[in-house]
């Protein structure tokens, strides 16, 4: 919450210099920057690029404080104008093991991506071109946020990225690690042992099923729900075969979700169709 109260978090000068660098890279008519230039511009020779996009308008205000005059001048056309701009580098990641990379963001907001799949794939290819310029040959392009869903877990851009000398991964591994760490942190700040916590998982597709597999035998109870009953029963059955101490429960109907939310300590939602199974006024208090 504090982050979104500070629209000048990145710094005016740093954001201007950073985007001028990104604009220069995007406009250069070459497929890949020379290694020396990559190190000069980025401080490292990236082995991976992690692709994301703004989650909401506040993300753009934080990353690009220099853009506020355009927001005033263009008003309601500002965010559609942003879609024409090249991707941008959010940060450089350096690790003790030397597996360094960069985080690149598209300028498209989720609603624009989701409601225009064809244009979203073009944007994904544009981001892949930009990513290839930043990284060494055969670097990995990891997809975050909505990109795995929009690109069929990377399959829709795999061939194009390969032609640019990159390998595409879905990015789900990072999301899975993040969810596991979040569960541990929730237990810590709540003062409840993780082994005693009850968890509700909404959606048991690839991510939901993977989260459940990670948490089984780590928490007290796992409650799962998916609109696809066959998928839910299959995942619940697999969990029951693996569990030694975690209770596995499958909900039968969407109207059981509110009471499950009351009984569980936290909920992990991995479905993009939440509005179809739970209305905002069905959320329990607190």
pLDDT at 128: 96
Q: How far is CA 260 from the centre of its chain?
A: 26
Bridge pairing between strands 88-93 and 101-105: antiparallel
Which pTM was predicted? Answer: 0.71
Pair of tokens at residue 114: 């989701």
What's the burial of 216, exposed, middle or buried (CB within 10 Å: 0-12/13-18/19+)? buried
Q: For residue 280, what are the contacts with CB-CB under 8 A and spacing of at least 6?
A: none
Average the pLDDT over 150-156 and give the result.
Answer: 90
| Residues above pLDDT 90, as percent of the chain | 68
Residue 9 pLDDT > 70: no
pLDDT digits (tens, 9 = 90+) for 11-54: 788 889 999 999 999 999 999 999 999 999 999 999 999 999 99
Residue 273 pLDDT > 90: no
Distances (CA, A) of 58 to 2, 66, 160: 12, 14, 31
């Amino acid at each position: 919450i504090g982050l979104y109260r500070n629209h000048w978090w990145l710094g005016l000068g740093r954001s201007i210099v950073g985007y001028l660098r990104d604009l220069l890279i995007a406009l250069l008519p070459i497929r890949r920057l020379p290694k020396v230039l990559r190190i000069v511009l980025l401080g490292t020779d990236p082995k991976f690029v992690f692709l994301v996009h703004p989650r909401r308008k506040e993300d753009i205000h934080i990353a690009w404080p220099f853009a506020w005059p355009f927001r005033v001048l263009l008003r309601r056309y500002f965010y559609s104008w942003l879609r024409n701009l090249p991707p941008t580098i959010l940060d450089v990641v350096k690790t003790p093991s030397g597996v360094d990379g960069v985080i690149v963001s598209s300028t498209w907001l989720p609603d624009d991506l989701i409601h225009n799949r064809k244009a979203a794939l073009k944007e994904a290819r544009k981001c892949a071109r930009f990513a290839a310029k930043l990284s060494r040959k055969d670097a990995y392009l990891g997809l975050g946020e909505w990109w795995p869903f929009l690109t069929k877990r990377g399959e829709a851009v795999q061939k194009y990225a390969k032609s640019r000398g990159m390998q595409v991964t879905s990015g789900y591994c990072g999301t899975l690690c993040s969810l596991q760490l979040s569960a541990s942190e929730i237990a810590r700040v709540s003062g409840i042992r993780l082994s005693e916590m009850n968890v509700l998982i909404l959606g048991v597709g690839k991510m939901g099923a993977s989260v459940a597999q990670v948490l089984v035998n780590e928490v007290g109870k796992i409650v799962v729900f998916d609109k696809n009953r066959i998928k839910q029963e299959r995942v619940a059955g697999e969990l029951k075969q693996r569990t030694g101490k975690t209770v596995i429960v499958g909900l039968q109907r969407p109207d059981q979700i509110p009471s499950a939310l009351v009984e569980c300590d936290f909920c992990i939602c991995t479905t993009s169709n939440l509005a179809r199974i739970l209305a905002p006024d069905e959320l329990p208090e607190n």
